[in-house]
């Protein structure tokens, strides 16, 4: 099923997977204010949709997302006052924060360039699967800017402080193989197998115990700011919640009966 209300993104919901495709291929899916507003609306709707158990974000054409639109975004901000600019930039953070906090697994299917804000978008997702033709760049520095959405927070956590600084200081674009070596890409597949690999992973996650995956995501994010003992205590409390779910009972029964569990996301 295709959601019809959007102009700059395409949203489909099928087999409990919502796929959000950035749809400005003529400008490599760069981020305009309107696109980001639509992305926020779509992700807010998806987050509340109990029929959706996995989310995929990708780009139309040859790019994932090349970053901010120079004419509609960067040039506009340069004419604003400090506080106007601060408020304006929030709309670029809102969809990123929704992805990061959404209690569903979110896959970045990186089919081409993911640069600047586009790399921020991929960083916010839980898993990054990339085609061998994909490229990555934290190239804010090329315009005398710093990573302004989530790159300063998430990139060092994924690739380490030194490599994060290398990418941000130079603005260099790296290929998918190097990105995998850095730890930026979790799954790297040939271009010919990309679509099927994304679908296979999305279906696997959609058929999993949704609440257990969600609480694992929550626990991992929160644990980055805890010592191990606090994390253990926090996780124990979440585990008590999991024991009360239908999916736990189904998983336990399936183990006893030596069969594959059929999870319902409840």
Q: Which long-range contacts (CB under 8 A, 24 or more apart) does 143-146 make?
A: 143/74
260: left (phi over 0), alpha (psi -120 to 50) or beta: beta
Tell me the pLDDT tens digit for each residue of 189-245: 999 999 999 999 999 999 999 999 999 999 999 999 999 999 999 999 999 988 999
52-72 average pLDDT score:
91
**Superfamily the domain 2-206 falls into:** 2-enoyl-CoA Hydratase; Chain A, domain 1 (3.90.226.10)
**pLDDT at residue 74 tops 90:** no
Distance CA(126)–CA(23), nearest Å, equals 22
Please give the residue that has the higher pLDDT: either 2 or 100.
100
Among the listed residues 180, 150, 196, 173, the one whose alpha carbon sits nearest the alpha carbon of residue 63: 173
Segment among 88-92, 138-142, 148-152 with least mean pLDDT: 88-92
Report yes or no: 201 and 129 within 8 Å, Cβ to Cβ: yes
**pLDDT at residue 73 tops 90:** no
What pTM value is reported for the model?
0.93
**pLDDT at residue 176 tops 70:** yes
The count of other CB atoms within 10 Å of the CB of residue 104 is: 23
18-32 average pLDDT score:
95
Among the listed residues 20, 22, 26, the one whose alpha carbon sits nearest the alpha carbon of residue 8: 22
Tell me the pLDDT tens digit for each residue of 132-144: 999 999 999 998 9
Share of the chain above pLDDT 70, in %: 97
């Amino acid at each position: 099923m295709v959601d019809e209300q959007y102009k700059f993104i395409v949203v489909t919901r099928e087999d409990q997977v919502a796929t959000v495709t950035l749809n400005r291929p003529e400008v490599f899916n760069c981020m305009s204010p309107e696109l980001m507003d639509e992305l926020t609306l779509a992700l807010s709707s998806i987050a509340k949709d109990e029929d959706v158990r996995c989310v995929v974000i990708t780009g139309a054409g040859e790019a994932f997302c090349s970053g901010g639109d120079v004419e509609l975004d960067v040039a506009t901000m340069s004419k604003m006052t400090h506080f106007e600019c601060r408020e304006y930039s929030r709309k670029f953070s809102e969809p990123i924060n929704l992805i990061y906090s959404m209690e569903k697994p979110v896959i970045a299917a990186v089919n081409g360039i993911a640069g600047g804000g586009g790399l921020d978008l991929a960083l916010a997702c839980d898993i990054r699967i990339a085609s061998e033709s994909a490229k990555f760049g934290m190239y804010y520095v090329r315009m005398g800017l710093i990573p302004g959405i989530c790159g300063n927070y998430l990139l060092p956590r994924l690739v380490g402080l030194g490599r994060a600084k290398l990418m941000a200081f130079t603005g260099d674009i790296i290929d998918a193989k190097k990105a995998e070596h850095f730890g930026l890409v979790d799954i790297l597949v040939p271009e010919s197998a990309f679509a099927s690999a994304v679908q296979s992973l999305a279906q696997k996650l959609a058929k999993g115990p949704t609440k257990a995956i969600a609480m694992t995501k929550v626990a991992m994010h929160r644990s980055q700011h805890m010592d191990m003992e606090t994390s253990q205590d926090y996780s124990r409390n979440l585990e008590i919640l999991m024991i009360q779910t239908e999916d736990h009972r189904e998983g336990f029964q399936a183990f006893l009966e030596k069969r594959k569990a059929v999870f319902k996301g409840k």
